[in-house]
Amino acid sequence: MLRRLVGAVEGQAAQPPTVPGSRGPTVSRASFQADLAAADARTARLSEALGKQVWRELGIGGPDDTEQQVVDLDLKLQDRNNDLAANRELIAQLNRGRDALPHPD
């Protein structure tokens, strides 16, 4: 009995109310809930956008930008370390070759 009553109330709440002589559109509880969900989603997007804007305007930068900069700098550092190691090896080879040559007295 109670379940039928709850079902009837929920079913009635889902239906738009009938207003005699009404010209405008009628709304239902479901349409209000859909509007509320859409407003919540818009609020979340706006909050995220404003947060990013504040980060940019304060010069803090976003975490993603910082992480990408770290990755880029690590790659540059690896390249320079490889170049340095190659140059050291080349100098060592040149020095060994020079030591093998007879010295003019």
Q: Is there a single domain that holds both residue 71 and residue 56?
A: no
Inter-residue contact 26 to 16 (CB < 8 Å): yes
Instruction: Count up the domains in the chain and report the number.
Output: 2
Inter-residue contact 27 to 13 (CB < 8 Å): no
Q: Is there a single domain that holds both residue 53 and residue 68?
A: no
Domain range for 54 is 29-61
pLDDT at res. 41: 93
Q: Is there a single domain that holds both residue 77 and residue 98?
A: yes
Residue 40, domain member (yes or no): yes
Please give the model's pTM, rounded to 2 decimal places. 0.38
Q: Is there a single domain that holds both residue 43 and residue 57?
A: yes
Tokens representing 34?
């859909």
pLDDT at res. 79: 96
Residue 22, domain member (yes or no): no
Tens of pLDDT along the chain (105 residues)? 777 877 777 777 666 666 666 666 677 778 888 889 999 999 999 999 998 888 888 877 656 677 788 899 999 999 999 999 999 999 998 888 877 666 666
How many whole angstroms from its chain centre is CA 28?
Answer: 36
